Amino acid sequence: MLRQNPTKSDKYTELDRNIVFVTTIYDTFEALEETLGKLKLERPLFMVYLAKKTFAEEVFNYAKQNDQIYLSESKSQDNSIVH
């Protein structure tokens, strides 16, 4: 995903592109889940839920293993810390 020795500006540009790509995939999962829920298709809905969860786990595992990507704590709407 990220080049070995990018310059600082290249790193952020490439990281930004990757973030947009991952966000687009996640949004697609969300839209598919919503559609399947409205159609009351339980089995495909469950499969999409599992795929979305697995995708998120893989993204976070990659980020944790990559020394160049830092995960920051953020506060959710109820002010609890989300990791």
Residues 23-38 as b/e (b if ≥16 CB within 10 A, e otherwise) read eeeeeebeebbeebee
16-71, pLDDT tens digit by residue?
888 899 999 999 999 999 999 999 999 999 999 999 999 999 988 888 887 656 65
pTM above 0.75, yes or no: no
- Give a yes or no: residue 82 inside a domain: no
pLDDT tops 90 at residue 80: no
Domain hosting 29: range is: 8-66
- Give a yes or no: residue 60 inside a domain: yes
- State the residue for tokens 């889940």: 33
Q: Please give the tally of structural domains in the chain.
A: 1
- Give a yes or no: residue 1 inside a domain: no
* Closest among 62, 30, 27 to 48, alpha carbons compared: 30
**What pLDDT sits at residue 29?**
95
- Tell which wins on pLDDT, 63 or 9: 63
- Give a yes or no: residue 72 inside a domain: no
- Give a yes or no: residue 78 inside a domain: no
